[in-house]
Amino acid sequence: MMNRGDEYLNSNPRILKTRPNVAHMTKTSISRRQFVKLSAFTSTGLVLGFSLTGFPAAAMSPAGDCDFFQPNAFLRIDKSGLVTILVGRQEMGQGVNISLPMIVAEELEVDFQKIKTDIAPFGSLKEGAHDTGGSQSVTGGWDELRQAGATARTMLVSAAAKRWGVDENLCKAEKGIVVHTVSGNSLSYGDLACEAAALPVPPVVALKDGKDYKLIGKNQYKKSLKEVLTGKAKYGIDLKVPGMLYAVAERCPVLGGSLESLDDSETLAVPGVVKVVRYTGTGIPMNVRPGVAVIATDIWAAMKGRRLLKIKWNEGAQNTESTEQLFKTFAATAKKQPKQVVHTAGDTAKTKAPASRTLTATYSAPFLAHAQMEPINCIAEVKGDRCEFWGGLQLPDWAVSTIATECSIPKANIKVNLALMGGAFGRRLQFDFAIEAVKIAQQADKPVKVIWDRMDDIRFDNYRPANYHRLQAKWDTAGNLQSWEHHVLTTSIARMVEGPEAKDLSEMLGGAHKDFWYAVPNVKTSYTPVDFNLQRGWLRGVEPVVNVFAVECFIDEIAQKLKKDPLQYRLSLLEGREPFKAYWDKTVEPARLAGVLKLAAEKIGWTQKRAANRFVGIAGHMFFCDSYAAHAIEIEMTGPKKFKILKIVATIDCGLVVNPDGMKNQMEGGTVFGLGQALRNEITVENSRVVQDGYYTYELARYKDVPQIEVYAVPSEAKPGGAGEVGVATISPALCNALAAAGRRPHALPIKNEGFEWL
């Protein structure tokens, strides 16, 4: 049994090392021993497949007749010819229900408009293969999904050739049929399903060359869009099971507190209220707060009953903390020696320069909530030592392991039914709500649907850490940058999840670790964690968003100090620098970063003449899913600190783009998400309690905030990278750099706190 720290390292997409890029492959080998029969999902059909983690699953020939031939977790073809592609990663609006089936369908040679997609049942994949985060879905599944489609296609062609008694090389697959190129005879995949199932699995299958792709690289639109827009799509919050009760919970307002006393007499008198139950909290990794749940026959009775509870909490010793004091602590601590040096190159201590050739600056950003559209919800049923769960989870295997430990239920006895998520942005990487639901359901004799309202969602979130950065740079008499020091201070996620001994190294990703992309001879990055009594967790783009803001604003500030063009200054520190190995064995390619910066500059019209009150800013970064992105932004100043955003250009190099429309959607979404962080988003804390309680007080980006957004991709034949989080990090520094060009540089987000206003 792994301990919690090991589970975290093995299942967290931000900690897992992803496979390095490989050379272009035209063939792949699959041994017969790599196939296994999964009777629960396959009836008597052939099972072949590969887990999305890259470990082949395998197959055996069926016994007797079959109704369909089903590649494990990836595709199933029935006798009618219907192709169903099963998606292992979790759909939460990012489009994996389109992009991943496209990869299979490309190699399978089927009409993409006629396929059906569905969620791969939990348990049909190797442990960890359902995990969704870190923008790893496409890049992690690329090789395995191509292999699955190609293997199925090869077996179908072989079945047709065998029936006709012809050479396989004279047969080809296209749009769900196999054609004999000499006679013109054809058979559908449905006609061939059982014959294909009876064939031995080929040890080698040919994969398509990229020049022959018919589907990949072409726009494919979300098939479920009409259902989503008309309310027909079924999310977790829409699910119902027979006999289900409803529950809402009152949670301890301070993390680490406990229940002291409870009077539930008025609550129990509410019609429809069935029961009031108490449940204890947990420690790491999920830090569930203790609470009191009202269980009722309908949600409205449960909510009314909660309002009538009379509760006294023991808030513990850490009940007076505030974000105002936290940032004072950040500022004071930043001037001291860091707790740990993370990365060094050369020797910054030996770099000497007078004050005239030295620049020091600080940057900061607050706690942030996920604020996804669908509030947290889940259904749990517990019968003795067995548990069934319905809902959305980004890390279901880790959730099951932790629920088993925290709720004393054998892991093998926990069944998970995964649901469509109405946004997540990393919120469901944490699963405190799942543990809570099971604890409540353990005290009921029916399934219980636990629903959080919007206030619960904002006030009991797992927040992106507040952060503070102190940077210093020195240059020589010719203006050549000689040293770079970056001291990062955050309220660590790793310490919240793993405990005080966590090393926190992932908090430095995004240019504050070995992935620092600019060519500077002497570099020192360092880290100091600062304790704070608030639950923390991953939010879309996490570490790079935190650190890229500081890195890209400071490099711009140096260029401004040296009276150099900010774009050309960046390029001078990138061009000519060789690729280098960064954290988690990732290779950073400075030329690709330069490429997205150049493209963004070109599309914004960087060198064109502008009116005296118009300014542009730019920023770029490398994300750890093998992708590079940049933003360029044009603003118009209408007053000393008043502006209007005229245009935003987003550029990306994510290798081969599987679905251009999906990539565009992700970059647009990331841009709006990041723009909200720049302008409005902020969680504040008083007396260890979150102040914000909904969309009125936790402000998201508004329609009026968002101008025209143009998205461009750098053409590439590299292995596909991710796009879901890549567009978040650079919009904030690009905006701040545009404001700096106008003479007003912000140093803290959101910029509304520095007196900026926008139209």
- Read off the DSSP letter of residue 8: H
pLDDT confidence tier of residue 145, bands split at 50, 70 and 90: very high
Q: Give yes or no: residues 180 and 271 share one domain.
A: no
Position 73 confidence tier, pLDDT thresholds 50, 70, 90: low
* Spatial separation of the C-alpha atoms in residues 544 and 512, rounded to whole Å: 9
- Tokens coding 257: 């507190």
Question: Does 6 map to a domain?
Answer: no
> Are residue 437 and residue 496 in the same domain, yes or no?
no
Burial readout 275-302 (b: 16 or more C-beta within 10 A, e: otherwise): bbbebebbebbbbbbbbbbbbbeebebb
Question: Residue 268: inside a domain, yes or no?
Answer: yes
Residue 498 lies in a domain: yes
Q: Could you tell me if residue 231 is inside a domain?
A: no
Does 15 map to a domain? no
- Which tens digits make up the pLDDT trace of 124-140? 888 888 999 988 899 99
Beta strand pairing call for 116-119 and 83-87: parallel
Number of domains in the chain: 3
Quick one: which of 234, 290, 636, 270 has its CA closest to 432? 290
In a domain, 705, yes or no: yes
CB 758 within 8 A of CB 644: yes
573 lies in the same domain as 687:
yes
User: In terms of domains, do 604 and 726 share one?
Assistant: yes
**CATH number where 349 lies:** 3.30.365.10
Indicate the residue among 428, 451, 474 that finishes a domain.
451
Residues 566 and 666 in one domain: yes
Handedness of CA 400, 404, 405, 410 (dihedral sign): negative
Residue 114 lies in a domain: yes
Asked if 159 and 270 sit in the same domain, the reply is: no
Shortest CA distance to 42 belongs to which of 22, 58, 25, 19?
Answer: 58
The helix/strand/coil state of 355 is helix
pTM, entire model: 0.90
User: What's the maximum distance between 2 C-alpha atoms anywhere in the chain?
Assistant: 85
Query: Are both 486 and 513 inside the same structural domain?
Result: yes
- Return the SS3 of 225: helix
User: Do both 343 and 257 map to the same domain?
Assistant: no
Do 541 and 678 belong to one domain? Answer: yes
Cβ neighbourhood burial of 349 (10 Å; 0-12, 13-18, 19+): exposed
> Over 60: is that where the pLDDT of 31 sits?
no
Burial class, 64, CB count within 10 angstroms (exposed 0-12 / middle 13-18 / buried 19+)? exposed
Residues paired with 272 in a beta bridge: none
If pLDDT is split at 50, 70 and 90, which confidence band does 8 have?
A: very low
Which range marks the domain in which residue 140 is found? 23-225
Does 306 or 16 have the greater pLDDT score?
306
pLDDT at 29 over 70: no
User: Do 439 and 527 sit in the same domain of this protein?
Assistant: no
- The answer on 242 and 190 residing in a single domain is no
pLDDT attached to residue 38: 25
Q: For 176-188, write each residue's pLDDT tens digit.
A: 999 999 999 999 9
Residue 13 lies in a domain: no
Six token digits for residue 356? 């005239």
Q: d(Cα 648, Cα 650) in Å, to the nearest integer?
A: 7
**What is the DSSP annotation of 66-87?**
-SEEEEETTEEEETT--EEEEE
pLDDT band at 392 (very low <50, low <70, confident <90, very high): very high
Among 191, 225, 259, give the residue marking a domain's end. 225
Phi, psi of 100 (to 5 degrees): -70, -45
SS3 153: helix
**Of 426, 451, 476, which residue is a domain's last?**
451
Confidence class of residue 16 from pLDDT cuts 50, 70 and 90? very low
Does residue 622 or residue 68 have the better pLDDT?
622
Asked whether residue 438 falls in the same domain as residue 332, the answer is no
* Closest of 300, 292, 275, 297 to residue 439, by C-alpha: 292
Q: With H, G, I as helix, E, B as strand and everything else as coil, classify residue 161.
A: helix
Tokens 């774009």 found at: 567
